[in-house]
Amino acid sequence: MEEKEISKAVIRRLPRYYRYLGELIESGVERISSSELSSRMKVTASQIRQDLNNFGGFGQQGYGYNVKFLYSEIAKILGLDKKHNVIIIGAGNLGHAIANYVAFEKRGFIMTALFDINPERIGKKIRDIEVLPLSELEAYIKENEVDIATLTIPKTAAKEVAERLVNCGVKAIWNFAHTDLNLPEDVLVENVHLSESLMRLSYNITSVEKSREEQK
């Protein structure tokens, strides 16, 4: 069976569909048409159908989509039906915030350990998750399955730690450091560059201001 490549644009949208479907389930909606969903999500119905049909026909003509079924199908597509062990490197505020966010657990992301170099932080616990010394990183990964490593450390340390992770066989990194990690192709990196996000907002503010000035 041959797989066609799914475009990044589609993947970007999938989690949002998933979120809306979850909300629909919570509010007791059992079925929904693409056009109803499209008006709630403010995208075209055509796009919803096109996106979903990349993965198969989940709907039924004359009926629409069964919300629970579609929700669970998207979960499978996103790999949320499996557990992922996640470690967090950097037990600062951001690391804490992520470790504390229990909703991740519900989606199958199990936070198993934190690492830090600061002796004051080492040994403490966040929820049930212990803060270990960074020096034990390799030993820990050898003993425990780690599916995702989260980098919440300054960019100066990030590249080096990323390489250590890759050397231990970690294949997926969730990177919050403000730098690009140049890693081998088979290592998946998902970047969360907060400063870039803030700059985009700043651009939009500036561009609104400019167009307002020109109108005068």
**Is 139 annotated to bind ligand?**
no
193 interacts with, out of a copy of itself, DNA, none, CB within 5 to 8 A per kind: a copy of itself
Task: Indicate the residue among 63 and 101 with the shorter CB distance to a copy of itself.
Answer: 101
Cα-Cα-Cα-Cα dihedral sign, residues 151, 156, 157, 161: positive
Identify whether the C-beta of residue 173 lies closer than 8 Å to the C-beta of residue 183: yes
**Is 94 annotated to bind ligand?**
yes
Residue-wise over 16-51: b if at least 16 C-beta within 10 A, else e?
ebbebbbebeeeeeebbbbebbbeebebeeeebbeb
Task: Tell the smallest beta-carbon distance from residue 172 to a copy of itself (Å).
Answer: 5
Task: Indicate the residue among 61 and 156 with the shorter CB distance to DNA.
Answer: 61
Task: Tell the smallest beta-carbon distance from residue 24 to DNA (Å).
Answer: 13
**Is 91 annotated to bind ligand?**
yes
Q: Which residues lie near DNA (CB under 7 A)?
A: 7-10, 33-35, 43-47, 49-50, 52-53, 57-65
Give Cβ neighbours of residue 135 (< 8 Å, ≥ 6 apart). none
Q: Choose among 148, 96, 153: nearest CA to 127.
A: 96
Task: Indicate the residue among 37 and 165 with the shorter CB distance to DNA.
Answer: 37
- Give the integer Cα–Cα distance in Å for 216 and 210: 10
**Is 79 annotated to bind ligand?**
no
Q: Which residues lie near a copy of itself (CB under 8 A)?
A: 1, 3, 6, 11-12, 14-16, 18-19, 77-80, 82, 84, 92-94, 96-98, 100-101, 103-104, 107-109, 147-148, 171-172, 174, 178-179, 186, 188, 190, 192-211, 214
According to DSSP, residue 128 is labeled T
28 interacts with, out of a copy of itself, DNA, none, CB within 5 to 8 A per kind: none
- Report the half-sphere exposure of 97 (CA within 13 A, side-chain side): 6
**Is 92 annotated to bind ligand?**
yes
Task: Indicate the residue among 10 and 110 with the shorter CB distance to DNA.
Answer: 10
**Is 90 annotated to bind ligand?**
yes
- Partner residues linked to 172 by β-bridges: 188
Task: Indicate the residue among 49 and 84 with the shorter CB distance to a copy of itself.
Answer: 84
Give Cβ neighbours of residue 11 (< 8 Å, ≥ 6 apart). none
Give Cβ neighbours of residue 82 (< 8 Å, ≥ 6 apart). 108
List binding-site positions. 90-95
List binding-site positions for NAD(+). 90-95
